[in-house]
Structures are given as C-alpha cells and as structure tokens.
Structure 1
C-alpha cells in the first residue's frame, strides 16, 4: 500500500466540514485513500447497479441507512443525493460525517457548489507523485537513470502496486474511458475522431494550443474541439496552463498550453512503449516538461491548495516554462530534460528575470540530473524534487 500525502489534509478537512469531497481521475486512488482515512465508516459504491438504483429511487431511505455517515464513492452517478445531503447536514452538522468521491470534475463541482456550498471541503487527488513513489521504500528510485521509466509508467497506483505493464493497463484505461465516461457525459457521435483528437493532443504536449488547426487536422469544427477539451478537462485527462499576463510593455501570447494528468498515458497515446523509444523520441523534452509541471501541481493539490499555474511567453518566443504568482512576487521555473547543468540552460530564466525586475521572487531550474545546486541567482533542482518548489510543500 502506497501512503498518500493528501491523507493528512483529508483528515484535517474532515474536522472542519460535515462533508469532504475528493475529486480526481478514475483509478487515481480516491477510494483507497478514503477507506484508509475513515476505516470505521460504511463504504458505498454508487457504481454498483442495485445500490445506484436504490439511491436514485428513494434517496431519503437510502441515506437513512447511514445515520453516522458513510463514504459515498463516485457520487456523480447519483447527483440528487447532494440535495438530500444538504438537508441532512443542516439538521445534523457533525464534522466529517460524509466523505464523497467523484471522477467528473466540472459535473460534480457545479453540483457540489450549488447543493453543499459552505458544507464541504473539496480536494483533488491526482495519480501518484514522484515524491510519493520515492517514499515507498521497496527499491523504487527517482534518479537520472529512472526518468524514462517514470514517464512511461506514469502515476496510476495499480501500475506500481500490482507491477502491471503500463501499455496494457493504459490501453484498457483509455478504452474504458471512451466507452464509459465519454458516453455518460455527452452523446458523442464521432468516437473515432475523438480518439484521434486525444492522440493529436498528446503530440502537442507542452505546446501552444491552436484549436482551429487541431480541428482542421481532425476534421471537425473548432467549436467541437472546444467542447471536447472541456470534456477532457472535466474527466481529468488533460489540463491547460494559462499564459501569465501583466503590463510589462511587451506583447505576450494569449493561447494556453496543454498537458496530460498522466505522462504515461501521453506516452501510450504517442505509441511509445519502451525506454529506448522514449529516449530518442522528438517529444521527450515536452513529456519531461509535462512530468515536472504535473509534479508541482500534485504537490499543491496534496496540500489542499488550488493555486493556479502559469507560463511566460512573449510574441518573440521568449519563454519560461512555469510561473507561480505569490502576494510578494513571482516564482520562475525553467524545465530542461538534460542530465547535466550547462550555462545555456539559464538563458531564458535570466532574460525573463531581468525583464520582470523586482517582481521576481526566485528562479529555479529543474533538470533530469540528481544533484541540487544553490547558485547565486538560480536554485537548481533534480526533477524528483520539483514538488518542493511549492510553498509549504510536504
């Protein structure tokens, strides 16, 4: 069993709210985490047909079975329960009574906001982070020789806990996702085109997103691409990074960049199945960038934080891969897959830092090596330590 860093935050939120809602991709470990954190609570799987039917047909009687609360898994299957939970928690506001999980971000978030506003904490559990894997203690290592393997395997717990071949598990995962989640969320007539769209997005990892160009390549309208992107983000397959915008007297880009919630899935979608293929693949640098951006996001989410992540890019192509905005300034993070630190790796960081001046609080270079260096103006970190860049990191 792999310990999750979100465990402490989950228990703490349960002391503050009657309901705690845990969102995240399917198979990210939500059920395991919640059952470990609350072993004395009844567990209810709302994907089980007879249980779901009972909850839909008679929600009041269904919830009456659990006067002291329960773990209600995959709450998006019976969204009407949320209104009944509002009534129950208003009548009996004991803290930590119900624990909900959900796999459809926008669908559940909107319903939770409407029905349980002020009554629930909302946390996100993403696939395993590098720091969680490094803490396993059974021979798992996160060093320069492991980076390709880490990208190929991704972070879904079953791959690591059961030593599953990633290409097999990820193939089944994607097929199930399209056939179940996509069909539940929208009436999708173009399954083949949708699958092609997702694969093309994997080929655009870490790049500026042009929806018109993507639509032309797939053979659908840009409006359809917009709809599909919303679906992919709602079901925790991809996320976008917005460009940072500030008045600095230069023209900055407005298009977002797209990344995957699991780098292993992005590799599989690109047809990369071996370490050797990945080592020589033209998108290896972009996939490494995805890995590091995701590690920073996971560190935030594991602390219950929702701080937005940005990137910096001007119209001339000057770019820094990651920017975090704080009350006292910005944090610049450049990401390079190289395993050695050389002077050219610092060029963009220092150029953007000079441009932004006093706004810059700190500069960091995350690379594929294993040594940390505290240089005069830049902190150099191995990729396995990227999560420590977040303030208050676990």
Structure 2
C-alpha cells in the first residue's frame, strides 16, 4: 500500500527543530508510527508494544535510554509512564532540540505525565484519521470557515469525491485505503484489540462484553445530545459507570463531546454535550450498516453524515495546529424560535448544529444530507443576534448540493467536499 501524505508532516518537522521532544497523539491505527517513520527515516525507532522493551522502560528507564540514546523515536510511550522522568533528565542535560519523538494512543495517561515532567520542553500535536483532503491528495491545509474568502481559496485545489457515501462508510483509518483490506474484518479486529488492550489499561472493566454493548449503544446515538441515563438503561449499568466508560472513549480518541455554546443571554439553552464518533466507518460497523448503499438510504444516514461533517471540520483545525475545542460548539434551546400553528404562536426548541467562533464572530452551521438546501433550515441562526459583544458572521448549510450558492444575503449552501 502506498503512503498517503499527511497534513501534519511540515508542522512535525518544525516542531522537531523547535522543541527538545515532540509528541504525536491520536487514536489507535490512525497512522502515528507510519508518519514518524516517514518524516524521520534516519532516526532509531523503538516501540513499547514489544513486551521486553516495555518492561525495560518501566523498570530501568535510565538503562533503556542509554541503549536507545537520542535522537530516537519511541512509539506507544504511554505504556511506560516511568520513562518520562528520564526523558526530562536527558532534555535538561542537552541544549539540542529534536532529541525525542514520541507517540501515544492514550493521552488519558500521557497528559498528566507530560504536564508534570516535560512542560515547556515538548510540542504536542494530534493526528486524526485521514481527512477527506488527505484521501484526495489535496494539499490545502487551512481550517474550514463558511465565508466567501474561504470558498474562493478552497476552490483552487478542490476535488470532488466520486462517491461521498462510500468515503463516509469506509472511514478514515489508513489501512482501509488499501483496496485489498476487508472492511468488516478490519473493524472487528480493531474493536477487539481496542477493548482487550486499551480499555483494560485505562480502567478496570470487568465485563468486556458489556463494554462492547456500550460502544454499540453509543454509536447508535452519534450526533445526538448525550443522555447517560438512556445508555445506562439499555445496557443495564448505572449512570456513573456509563460516564466513566464514555470518558474512556473520549480519552482514547474514539468519540468527541461537543460542548454547548454558553451565554448569559441564552438562559434556556440545553447544557449537555453532543456525542460524535471520530470515525464514521467505526459507527457503521458497530451499528451494522454493512454497505455504503444501505447507509445512504438508511435510518442512520442523517446522523452519520452530520458526524462526518463535524469530524472533517475538527480535522481541518487539528491539521493546521489549532485546538478545535476552543473554536466549536452547538446550540439547542427554546430561545426566540417561534412558529405559528392553528393560529397560535408557539415557542419551540431552536437548534444550530455547529457554531464556529473566531475573533469575536459566530459562524452558525446547519448540516443536512440533502442535495438541496433551503433558507428555512437556518431560521435558528437569528438566536445569535441577541448576544452582546459577539457578531453573527456568514452562516451556511453544509449538504450534498452540487455547488456553492447563496440562500440569503448572509447564508451560503456549501457542498460537503468544500470542508
């Protein structure tokens, strides 16, 4: 299988020159090891997936680094948190940068050790699964914004996928881009390995079969406001256990919890986060949508399409080196959306699927799988006009429409492949 260029490559090279250590985090199988080997082919590479090396790193960290001196790449470094104190000593002893390149699929444990040991000495970046741009070989690497300026620049290198539903169904794990790799076998192995290795390490889960049921229940709710009680009832566990297990999925890069937009003006807004899986192929596997054709016309098509769009937008930020958590939110509440029914004016819940905030400007986004967008889909956007100190910018409906178009003066329809 040919290597697919990653958007992080240039930034990884810059970090290697600017920091004594560089850490690449991300979910299992997103391509961290391959990226580090490709960008730094002359470095010595050691993986703590090897039980012998893991034991040595845990029990004799100083000797481990003597046998594997910098510059060195250490993969799955979270398996030996004891090693960080010795990495810190090596960094403090040298004036050179680029001593260590580290990777880890469990930032749940990594972040605590790094903040304590390597603060100021390390550059951290997140590698997600392949983005739509990377799959298409498109080198455009600026984060998505629903503006005319973004659209004009994006159009210069734009490539439309032959079948967007096939791309959504396949998912973004690099190994699946090989046409010879069987889709269901890959995900079956992935889930088995993730549950039996990562989950056992992150928490003392006694019944792994129930955890598998939990993952399925969570996948069926991607794109929805997170309701711990509903999941707990479905799998027969208490809410505390479900919250703990959800934190495991989040920490290991399987899901993202999109927080609600907060404002004192929007007092009636819902405060719970929305749940999104980071990979749509994994959602399809867990919820048993086995072909892209069935997915496109099935009951899960809307939530999975929304999950894909949100995931691609997050990747556009991460691949540019921006922490998407500070830019994105959503809104749902009973603020200022009124409809007439039987001659009576009713106030109903308004929802904005995604709000991007940048430089004091709020960009509202609606996500629809439709091939045609309508202005009425964006009626909730007006809620943002009430927020003092913020300005509502250009809004958009992201959908499967054939081209960019204006729905209103300040609202665009944007095809999904423009992300």
> Residue 15 of structure 1 aligns to a residue in which SS?
helix
* Alignment correspondent of 1:300: 317
1:384 aligns with 2:417: yes
Q: Is the CA contact 1:152–1:166 (under 8 Å) kept in the aligned structure 2?
A: no
2:170 to 141, 149, 153: 153
1:191 aligns with 2:208: yes
Q: Deviation string for 1:250-296 (max 9, x for gaps)?
A: 41000111011101000111100012221221121111000000001
1:264 aligns with 2:281: yes
Q: Is the CA contact 2:373–2:397 (under 8 Å) kept in the aligned structure 1?
A: no
- RMSD of the TM alignment (CA)? 1.9
Distance 1:67 1:249 in 2: 55
* Alignment correspondent of 1:129: 131
* Alignment correspondent of 2:329: 310
Shift of 1:180: 1.1
> Residue 188 of structure 1 aligns to a residue in which SS?
coil
> Residue 381 of structure 1 aligns to a residue in which SS?
strand
* Alignment correspondent of 2:238: 221
Distance 1:267 1:196 in 2: 15
Q: Any gaps of 5 or more consecutive residues in structure 1?
A: 387-394
Q: How many residues align?
A: 382
1:45 aligns with 2:77: no
2:248 to 225, 231, 241: 231
Shift of 1:336: 0.9
Distance change in 2, residues 1:59/1:189 (3 Å): same
Q: Deviation string for 1:222-247 (max 9, x for gaps)?
A: 00011101111111111100100102
Distance 2:105 2:357 in 1: 28
Q: Is the CA contact 1:240–1:259 (under 8 Å) kept in the aligned structure 2?
A: yes
Distance 2:20 2:107 in 1: 21
> Residue 72 of structure 1 aligns to a residue in which SS?
strand
Shift of 1:8: 1.1
Q: How does 1:1-394 map to 2 (within 5 A)?
A: 1-135=3-137, 142-143=160-161, 146-308=163-325, 309-315=328-334, 316-349=348-381, 351-356=382-387, 359-374=391-406, 376-386=409-419
Q: Is the CA contact 2:31–2:174 (under 8 Å) kept in the aligned structure 1?
A: yes
> Residue 272 of structure 1 aligns to a residue in which SS?
coil
> Residue 119 of structure 2 aligns to a residue in which SS?
coil
* Alignment correspondent of 2:338: none
> Residue 365 of structure 1 aligns to a residue in which SS?
strand
Range moving further from structure 2, 14-23 or 127-136: 127-136
Q: Any gaps of 5 or more consecutive residues in structure 2?
A: 140-158, 335-347
Q: Is the CA contact 1:42–1:71 (under 8 Å) kept in the aligned structure 2?
A: yes
Q: Deviation string for 1:170-221 (max 9, x for gaps)?
A: 1110111111111122221122221111111111111111112211121111
Range moving further from structure 2, 12-21 or 265-274: 12-21
Q: Deviation string for 1:68-123 (max 9, x for gaps)?
A: 32110000111111110101101113112110000012111111111111110110
TM-score w.r.t. length of structure 1? 0.92
Shift of 1:304: 1.6
Q: Is the CA contact 1:328–1:361 (under 8 Å) kept in the aligned structure 2?
A: no
Shift of 1:341: 2.7
Superposition misfits of 4+ residues, deviation over 4 angstroms? 353-358
